[in-house]
Amino acid sequence: MPHVEISCYPGRTDKQKAECAEGVAEIIANTLGCNVSGVSVAIKEVNQADWKTEVWDKQIVPAEEYLYKKPGYTC
C-alpha cells in the first residue's frame, strides 16, 4: 500500500490539491501495479521560511539514498 507525502508552499486551492493527489495516486497505481484504492497521498503546506528546517533538513537530506528524483536545488 504506497503512501506519498507531498510538501509544498502554501497557495494551492483544495481543488488543486485534490486533483494532484488523484493524479499522483493513478500514476503510482499504474506504475507499481497496485489498486488505486490502496494508495494514499498527503499534501502538507510548509511556509517558504520554514522549508529548510522542516523539509530539507528533516525529509530530503536523511532520505537522500532513497530519492529517485532529487531536487535541482540546495539549501
- Cβ-in-10-Å burial (0-12, 13-18, 19+) of 48 comes to exposed
d(CA 29, CA 19): 15
**What's the pLDDT score for residue 68?**
96
pLDDT at residue 46 in the model: 98
Model confidence, pTM = 0.90
Per-residue pLDDT tens over the stretch 13-72: 999 999 999 999 999 999 999 999 999 999 999 999 999 999 999 999 999 999 999 999
Q: Domain coordinates of the chain in residue numbers?
A: 3-66
Superfamily of domain 3-66: Macrophage Migration Inhibitory Factor (3.30.429.10)
**pLDDT on residue 73:** 97
- Return all residues near 56 (Cβ < 8 A) that are at least 6 apart: 75
CA 40/CA 34 separation, integer angstroms? 12
What does the pLDDT read at residue 22? Answer: 98
Query: Which are the catalytic amino acids?
Result: 2
